Structure 1
Amino acid sequence: MTGQLSFPRQHARTQRFTLGAPRALTVAPDDSRVVFLRSRTGTDRTGLLWVYDLDGRREYPVADPEELLGGAEEELSAEERARRERSREGSAGVVGYAVDAAVELAAFALSGRLFTADLPGGTSRELPVPGPVVDPRPSPDGRHVAYAAGGALRVVGADGEGDRALAEPEGDTITYGLAEFIAAEEMDRSRGFWWSPDGDALLVARVDDAPVRRWWIADPAHPGREPAEIAYPAAGTSNAEVRLMLLGLDGSRTEVEWDRQRYPYLARVHWSAYGPPLLLVQARDQRSQLYLAVDTESGRTSTVHVDEDSVWLDLFPGVPAWTQDGRLVRIADEAGARVLMVGDRKLTSGALQVRAVLGIGEEDVLFSASPGAGAGLPELPGEVDVHRAWFRGSGDQGGWEPVGKRPFPAVHSAARGGEVIALSYSGLDRPGARVEIFRPGDHGTAETLAEIASYAEAPVLTARPQLVFAGKHDIPCAVLLPTGYREGDGPLPVLMDPYGGPHGQRVVASHNAHLTSQWFADQGFAVIVADGRGTPGRSPGWEKAVRDDLAAVSLEDQVEALTALAGRYPLDLTKVAIRGWSYGGYLAGLAVLRRPDVFHAGVVGAPVTDLRLYDTHYMERYLGLPDQQPEVYAANSLVTDEGLSGAAETVRPMLIVHGLADDNVVVAHSLRLSSALLAAGRPHEVLPLSGVTHMTPQEQVAENLLLLQVDFLKRSLGLR
């Protein structure tokens, strides 16, 4: 039985307790149904497409992969595997879908084949088209389905008739309708085509990755296999060339024009019935971006708005977009706060840190936000709430209110239809997430209509994080002590467990986010998770404090948090270890090399060690171009002479872990670090993971990786 499993095995088998939980919710505009994905159990990787009928108060599956594939094994194309890696998708079956405007027709790919679902009727069918199919999307009117296949953008009637290519690649390096690596990995843009509101044309990205350098990823465990070739745009090198085409179903073709040399990044595309197509394009240095309206007759663009920032500009989910009366919705950094803008009107203040736009109604905007610095420190760090802001009121600033506010700290997200909202939230008071469907009323009231069941497994342990602020910078921290620890039990060895960098908030008001840290605590550690400067959710200035100085600022804040918390918790500062993955691995490497006076051992997982080897859009945002600031890259890297010059003479145990199939942080990072350490005479251990990417979804790998880390940490700190 699952309850008899150890936490590492259960954590791995349930894919971090995400299996069986409802996700990817869509509410029909007439509030008749909610569509979502969910597997049948908390250990079943296969996702099904479901509908919750709000009129009948019942749910039913509309797409079961086992039935649709006749029990056959799922086969994934290289393009689909890449899409899942970029989105960190480790499950199987139906992992994504798209719907028409009425939310009556859904389209999805399964094993490279195209399927559609009649959502009110609860049935699915396959459309016989050339494959392998990637990212199928119905037209808003439900009459056609567009999809990418073989580098082409194709369209077929919803009845399965009339399949044809609207654009075919002119060469092996060209694709239509797919997001390039940088867009999917760093810009949160996974799409490559967008339907017109009336369903008679599409905007389609044309990507040519010929300018991008080729890298080869080999599998040393299988020397007979050819290395996989990838186009990887490392910092300072060429990106893919991205153009945008307006393709009519009548065969017409018009290229959309903008200054692609000055603004090469196509970051966002929005096309609704409330205005012309809207683009957000960024300069390569990400300090300037344009909001452009597209003339669909000529393909020419006109500037709607310009953003500029001396440090960098961030991208946000859900914007830009139009309101129904044609005003621009965006999120902006103003006066030290991240605010919601509709036209020229600021709808929020420094009391909120706006994070995403979730839906736009006739007179309001649904958005997620954290408490902002303008309201002072909240009682606890890590809350994310959903709010509504009105833009039809009077005055310079509209009002806003929480939506579905719960009486406990939590992390909320939502989807909306007409008047109905599907709210997903996870709090500190219980494991897992809940999904409630409700109709909001006045002054924060709500009529609850239904709750969508979760089949996620209950963890075999309970996380007990104490969320606090620490140090002169009021660094958000989570502190976890062993289950059953009592004040008289004495000081504990410390494990710092950070991500600690951009895009990765770890200190959140959600139980399951702290399960692994609690498990490490139960092995006899006081575990500290600290979100220092550079991490999201605080303020623009907090995030941008790491410009040109990732290493020093990130490491300084980990030390500050540890030192401050030592006066409040039973910490044995003579036995301090640190572990991390990706940016957290980079930070762990920095810690044991540059501050061995504080850190006595480190687990360095999939670290970025030579910052010139990471991608353009990410690394250039923080450090600029390598040829313009070589000293900045050298000082922030672990493997350069300048980077290693910060290493103290004291040698601390280090375990370097890396997946050999990683195409995001390639294993060259760890190999170069190991070589540099060996050349410097610094002993260390290396654990290569054959066939593992930047994710570690394999059950045995994920389980044993936790066990091996504990063994290394205890051995290194002399706890045995």
Structure 2
Amino acid sequence: MTSEPLSFPRQYARTQRFSLGAPRTFTVAPDGERVIFLRSRNGTDRANALWVLDLPEGTERVVADPATVLSGAREHLSEAERARRERSRESGTGVVDYATDAAAELAAFTLSGRLFVGELRAGTVRELPAPGPVLDPRPSPDGRYVAYVSAGALRVTRADGADAGDGAANGSALVGPETDTVTYGLAEFIAAEEMGRSRGFWWAPASDRLLVARADDAPVHRWWISDPAQPERTPQRAAYPRAGTANAEVGLWVVGLDGSRVEVVWDRERYPYLARVHWSAAGAPLLLVQTRDQRSQAYLALDPDNGSTRMVHAEDGEPWLELFAGAPCWSPDGQLVRLVDEGGARVLAVGDRPLTGPQLHVRAILDVSEDDVLVAASAGAEAAAPETGEVHVYRVNEWGTERISQEVGVHRAVRSGPVTVLVSAVPEAPGTRVRVLRDGAPVAEVSSYAERPVLAPRVTLTEGGTRRVPCAVLLPSDPSPHQGLLPVLLDPYGGPHGQRVQAAHNAYLTSQWFADQGFAVVVADGRGTPGRSPAWEKAIHQDLTVTLDDQIDALHGLAERFPLDLSRVAIRGWSYGGYLAALAVLRRPDVFHAAVAGAPVTDWRLYDTHYTERYLGDPAKSPEAYEANSLVTDDGLSGAAEPHRPLMLVHGFADDNVVVGHSLRLSSALLAAGRPHEVLPLTGVTHMAAQEEVAENLLLLQVDFLRRALGLGER
């Protein structure tokens, strides 16, 4: 008896989008002897373990296995930890994050809210006594202490577990708690969800004090997240700063291990957003603060002795200023390193001098050394040739640039000293390849245990339409010689911070599965998506509907070269892609004939401050922008056209990012307007929809709906 082959939807769900078993979260020891990383035991194991790759031998060993450390006990998470994981879109279990001391000799992590440290050379693990549940533990640079957050307070304990009687550094609270609305040492919702700042405290290089963020969300409106399928459960009360309303009040304190406290002073009235904090031995603590409208920001150097700040650099920009990974920071010789939009390009600047030009579109700073800056970048507007979907790693200094990654693909890197970990995803092979380089030469590879997908994408990377929109086109793996034109499925994200067109194999697995159901699938990254130019990203200012225009432009352009049946066009998407899908059938039913909208933002007045106000402004000052871009307002629905097209709304009731009220309000408005539609509620599901049975059946239900809606019958 032979077992039935595993279907793609089942494999996709069991492997959590083929992420399980893949190595991730790398740290390179400064002495070049160790690479620390996380990885689960196989391609269906959700529990990550902490691993070390020893160099130069190239041998891997486990430091902390959750099954061993917890003695097989089931993992339990606090609500605060669940919220942190939701903000970072973390769906794994076990050791999902860790931090090391400066020498990468000691790692700190949590399991079930308990505090553990691992000695990375010896491979030993011990639990430290701590009032739980523990959040975000981080060793001091010298490895003597571990700071962590518990119950809204920042605490510090000795890394060796001993109580030496040295003041506050014995597990007691250094600062907080005050009230149930105040936390110390955690990133507030808006920083973690939209600014890319997941941390709330930073050690001094001398290990004698910390910078600690204080967040008070008392001014923030409260919402209730409930599960109607469990009416006996009390709804969860959540502070959610929707557009035009109050944010959490955020401050910063210098807290000494001796219990001393100094408040950091800056113009918080003008610059309420604490976007970045950097503290290294190369200079004073560095803050990046923003105005509420995100059109001005200040780089501030802090005197930790008295809390005063001085302006290092100021920027103003229209219609907004972006935030970037790894920036700002100090170079080893004390110069300000930042990314800036100048002359139509996104460039790397060190001090007052830009080191790159329009040939590169720099996306992140990866590392800064005495000799160079390591960056991630795409081809810029004046590149010799387009590199659709590619991201590469470059060394940049005053003498020029050198590309480290060579293959067509999407590459990122982590570096310390002479050792670089290069993580590469390429179109020809599934998963990622992780190579360890020393002085540019390969010395080892980190193994991946991720499963091999049961299908392979048949993808063409190209550009479509008059605007040369970056596109990927996928056709069925087993095309019929008599198939003729194919029904079309657009499969975009299509909005800010969400690049879907990538030169990488696994990026198109789901799209290929839909193609194998008889569709020509188009993935298009129109205006507003990252990776092309500042002007491309900012063209959506106060008009998000141009993202739909670009989907149509790309579709019609591609129809001249691919077998696309423009009389049968559907669109599916999640989050911003869900908004785009619903917008498509409501505004342009002449082009789109069916849509699946997952977790869509339907009324932008219900979405959060930092994201929404960046693109649409203050709703009190530009209400017309909110009316024109939303789907449930009078203007939004009056823009809906005939004929009525089939629309499926999918939403998780536990979603605290795009709350289910978005879909319910749109459903109510559609019903009132007499527009038929379907609603698929997901009980207990958040914005990630990570549960295995949900992920699998969502694919099956979507393809069933789309085939019915387009009159395609069964396949």
* TM-score normalised by L of structure 2: 0.98
CA deviations over 1:406-458 (Å, ceiling 9, x no partner) = 2xx10000001111100000000111101000123xxxxx3110000000000
Shift, 1:649, TM fit? 2.2
CA deviations over 1:245-296 (Å, ceiling 9, x no partner) = 0000011100000000110000000000010000000100000000000011
CA deviations over 1:605-648 (Å, ceiling 9, x no partner) = 10000100000000000000001011110000000010111111
Q: Is 1:16 paired with 2:10?
A: no
Write the distance in 1 (CA, Å) between the matches of 2:661 and 2:483: 44
**Aligned partner (choices 232, 237, 255) of residue 247 of structure 1:** 255
Q: Is 1:612 paired with 2:612?
A: no
Write the distance in 2 (CA, Å) between the matches of 1:487 and 1:321: 57
Instruction: Provide the aligned C-alpha RMSD in A.
Output: 1.0
| 2:514 match: secondary structure | helix
Q: Is 1:418 paired with 2:412?
A: no
Shift, 1:298, TM fit? 1.1
| 1:373 match: secondary structure | coil
Q: Is 1:629 paired with 2:622?
A: yes
User: 1:675 — aligned with what?
Assistant: 668
Equivalence map 1:33-182=2 (5 Å):
33-161=34-162, 162-182=170-190
User: 1:439 — aligned with what?
Assistant: 438
Out of 240-249 and 640-649, give the one that drifted further: 640-649
Write the distance in 2 (CA, Å) between the matches of 1:698 and 1:369: 34
- Aligned residue identity for 1:590: L
Unaligned runs of 5+ in 1: 392-397, 441-445
Q: Is the 8 A contact 1:197 1:272 kept in 2?
A: yes
CA deviations over 1:585-621 (Å, ceiling 9, x no partner) = 0000000001000000000110000100000000000
Q: Is 1:655 paired with 2:648?
A: yes
Write the distance in 2 (CA, Å) between the matches of 1:80 and 1:386: 33
Equivalence map 1:558-577=2 (5 Å):
558-577=551-570
Q: Is 1:589 paired with 2:589?
A: no
Q: Is 1:479 paired with 2:473?
A: yes
User: 1:451 — aligned with what?
Assistant: 445
Q: Is 1:389 paired with 2:389?
A: no
Write the distance in 2 (CA, Å) between the matches of 1:620 and 1:424: 34
| 1:4 match: secondary structure | coil
| 2:671 match: secondary structure | helix
Q: Is the 8 A contact 1:2 1:10 kept in 2?
A: no
Write the distance in 2 (CA, Å) between the matches of 1:77 and 1:4: 38
CA deviations over 1:212-266 (Å, ceiling 9, x no partner) = 0000011100001000000000000000000000000011100000000110000
User: 1:360 — aligned with what?
Assistant: 368
Assess, with a 3 A threshold, how the Cα gap between structure 1 residues 248 and 198 changes in structure 2: closer, same or farther: same
User: 1:600 — aligned with what?
Assistant: 593
Unaligned runs of 5+ in 2: 163-169
Q: Is 1:297 paired with 2:344?
A: no
CA deviations over 1:517-547 (Å, ceiling 9, x no partner) = 0000000000000000000000000000000
| 2:9 match: secondary structure | helix
Shift, 1:377, TM fit? 4.6
Write the distance in 1 (CA, Å) between the matches of 2:311 and 2:3: 57
Write the distance in 2 (CA, Å) between the matches of 1:190 and 1:614: 20
Write the distance in 2 (CA, Å) between the matches of 1:129 and 1:413: 36
User: 1:256 — aligned with what?
Assistant: 264
User: 1:510 — aligned with what?
Assistant: 504
User: 2:538 — aligned with what?
Assistant: 544
User: 1:430 — aligned with what?
Assistant: 429
User: 2:682 — aligned with what?
Assistant: 689
* TM-score normalised by L of structure 1: 0.97
Write the distance in 2 (CA, Å) between the matches of 1:2 and 1:349: 57
Q: Is the 8 A contact 1:12 1:703 kept in 2?
A: yes
Q: Is the 8 A contact 1:140 1:197 kept in 2?
A: yes
Shift, 1:79, TM fit? 0.9
CA deviations over 1:61-83 (Å, ceiling 9, x no partner) = 00011111111110101111000
CA deviations over 1:104-163 (Å, ceiling 9, x no partner) = 000001100000000011111100111100000000000100000010000001111322
Shift, 1:56, TM fit? 2.7
User: 2:491 — aligned with what?
Assistant: 497
Q: Is 1:554 paired with 2:528?
A: no
Assess, with a 3 A threshold, how the Cα gap between structure 1 residues 279 and 531 changes in structure 2: closer, same or farther: same
Write the distance in 1 (CA, Å) between the matches of 2:277 and 2:260: 20
User: 1:524 — aligned with what?
Assistant: 518
Write the distance in 1 (CA, Å) between the matches of 2:388 and 2:236: 43
User: 2:241 — aligned with what?
Assistant: 233
Shift, 1:297, TM fit? 1.4
CA deviations over 1:338-386 (Å, ceiling 9, x no partner) = 00011011111111110001111112111100001122551x4100000
Q: Is the 8 A contact 1:3 1:460 kept in 2?
A: no
Write the distance in 1 (CA, Å) between the matches of 2:171 and 2:612: 42
Q: Is the 8 A contact 2:56 2:443 kept in 1?
A: no
Shift, 1:2, TM fit? 9.9
Write the distance in 2 (CA, Å) between the matches of 1:405 and 1:204: 41
Write the distance in 2 (CA, Å) between the matches of 1:487 and 1:105: 61
Write the distance in 2 (CA, Å) between the matches of 1:49 and 1:598: 50
- Aligned residue identity for 1:37: L
- Aligned residue identity for 2:6: L
**Aligned partner (choices 616, 634, 641) of residue 641 of structure 1:** 634
Q: Is the 8 A contact 1:658 1:670 kept in 2?
A: yes
Shift, 1:404, TM fit? 3.3
| 1:387 match: secondary structure | strand
- Aligned residue identity for 1:169: P
User: 1:443 — aligned with what?
Assistant: none
Write the distance in 1 (CA, Å) between the matches of 2:301 and 2:112: 37
- Aligned residue identity for 1:293: A
Q: Is the 8 A contact 2:473 2:522 kept in 1?
A: yes
Q: Is the 8 A contact 1:337 1:374 kept in 2?
A: no
Shift, 1:197, TM fit? 0.1
Write the distance in 2 (CA, Å) between the matches of 1:228 and 1:334: 45
Shift, 1:464, TM fit? 1.6
Write the distance in 2 (CA, Å) between the matches of 1:5 and 1:452: 27
**Aligned partner (choices 683, 686, 691) of residue 698 of structure 1:** 691
| 1:374 match: secondary structure | coil
Shift, 1:5, TM fit? 1.1
Equivalence map 1:253-402=2 (5 Å):
253-375=261-383, 377-378=385-386, 380-391=387-398, 398-402=399-403
User: 2:165 — aligned with what?
Assistant: none
Shift, 1:485, TM fit? 1.9
Write the distance in 2 (CA, Å) between the matches of 1:211 and 1:138: 33
User: 1:189 — aligned with what?
Assistant: 197
Write the distance in 1 (CA, Å) between the matches of 2:44 and 2:4: 12
- Aligned residue identity for 1:49: L
Q: Is the 8 A contact 2:58 2:445 kept in 1?
A: no
- Aligned residue identity for 1:544: K
Q: Is the 8 A contact 1:611 1:619 kept in 2?
A: yes
Assess, with a 3 A threshold, how the Cα gap between structure 1 residues 239 and 266 changes in structure 2: closer, same or farther: same
- Aligned residue identity for 2:694: V
